[in-house]
Amino acid sequence: MTNRQRTTILVNGTRYEREVEPRLSLADFLRHELHLGGTHVGCEHGICGVCTVLIDGRSARSCLTLAVQADGAEITTVEGLRDAETGQLHPIQQAFIDAHGLQCGFCTPGFLMTTLELLRDNPQPSDDEIREALGGNLCRCTGYQSIVESVRLAASRLRG
């Protein structure tokens, strides 16, 4: 007898319906059921932030969220940032490239999704506000300064 539960989740505008184990994390659902590998998995216990996605517009750790808890929710992952029609990178992605906000890139999806939420809520953040917002995302490579500069650049471009 299976205890799989029917789960329907809107991911980057596409509706997916699957039978899932109740213990399956949202991160594993995205990566293994939907083959959306842009959401990375590091610590798997809420520390590093690489698995950050937006759930109904709010940033959340997909490693700490069960897929069944996201039933009926709208998820945005890093794959949803790029313009679906033109293929153009999101201004936040481009700013991270231009301001050298990544090296190995493992942490980058989490930083991008957190930045998306930050700049939506606060289009002109101070450096302290940027550091505060990104405080839950860890990076082993950059020393963070170039990430802060990337967010500043993205903010100024988005303000136009």
Q: Which stretch binds ligand FES (CB under 6 A): 14-22, 71-79, 121-129, 140-148?
A: 140-148
Dihedral sign, Cα of residue 64, residue 68, residue 71, residue 74: positive
- Are the CB atoms for 16 and 26 separated by under 8 Å? no
Is residue 42 near ligand FES by the rule CB under 6 A?
yes
When the beta carbons of 8 and 28 are compared against ligand FES, the nearer one is 28
Strands 52-55 and 74-76 turn out to be antiparallel
Q: Which stretch binds ligand FES (CB under 6 A): 46-54, 72-80, 127-135, 151-159?
A: 46-54
CA-based angle 12:15:19, to the nearest 5?
Answer: 120
Is residue 139 near ligand FES by the rule CB under 6 A?
yes
Nearest residue to 69 (alpha-carbon basis) of 149, 4, 9: 9
Of 23, 47, 123, 124, which one interacts with ligand FES (CB under 6 A)?
47
3-state class of 9 per DSSP?
strand
Is residue 140 near ligand FES by the rule CB under 6 A?
yes
Token pair 């995205």 in the structure block, residue:
30
Distance CA 119, CA 148 (A): 12
CA-based R_g, the chain, Å: 16
Instruction: Give the shortest CB-131-to-ligand FES separation in angstroms.
Output: 15
Is residue 46 near ligand FES by the rule CB under 6 A?
yes
Is residue 43 near ligand FES by the rule CB under 6 A?
yes
Q: Return the residues of window 96-125 that contact ligand FES according to CB under 6 A.
A: 102-107
Residues that bind ligand FES (CB under 6 A): 41-44, 46-51, 61, 63, 102-107, 139-142
